[in-house]
């Protein structure tokens, strides 16, 4: 079976980036980090190469962390393994209200 890989780059990250094609709902991916730890997670949704999945449950309003940086906030509750993108992620930069 072909390894389906996702990477967690920073300890602060609550999402991992998918580095595999054909990730569909229910696909199991192996998440690795720089410390050499790995975990398998069942993906919720269809996730394109280079996109993100949640590493744990994320509550609405909670900051989304990728590469150790805040890339936005959850616009809805997100389950572990769920595809994280514009449908459940709200940008915080350049809004003028923060």
What CATH number does the domain containing 86 carry? 2.30.130.110
What's CA 82's distance to the chain center, in Å? 7
Residue at 62 is within a domain: yes
Q: Around Cβ 28, how many Cβ atoms within 10 Å?
A: 12
3-state secondary structure of 92: coil
Q: What predicted TM-score, i.e. pTM, was given to this entire model? A: 0.91
More confident residue, 44 or 95: 44
CB 80 within 8 A of CB 55: yes
5-14 tens-digit pLDDT = 999 999 999 9
CB 46 within 8 A of CB 8: no
Cα distance between residue 51 and residue 31, in whole Å: 13
- The total number of structural domains in the chain stands at 1
57-79 tens-digit pLDDT = 999 999 999 999 999 999 999 99
Residue at 84 is within a domain: yes
Question: Which single residue is written with the structure tokens 């709902």?
Answer: 25
Residue at 96 is within a domain: no
């Amino acid at each position: 079976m072909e390894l389906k890989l996702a990477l967690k780059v920073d300890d602060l990250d609550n999402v991992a980036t998918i580095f595999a094609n054909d990730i569909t709902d229910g696909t199991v991916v192996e998440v690795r980090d720089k410390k050499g730890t790995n975990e398998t997670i069942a993906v919720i949704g269809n996730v394109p190469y280079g996109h993100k999945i949640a590493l744990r449950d994320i509550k609405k309003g909670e900051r989304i962390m990728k590469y150790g940086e805040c890339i936005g906030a959850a616009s809805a509750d997100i389950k572990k393994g769920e595809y994280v993108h514009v449908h459940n992620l709200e940008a915080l930069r350049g809004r003028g209200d923060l």
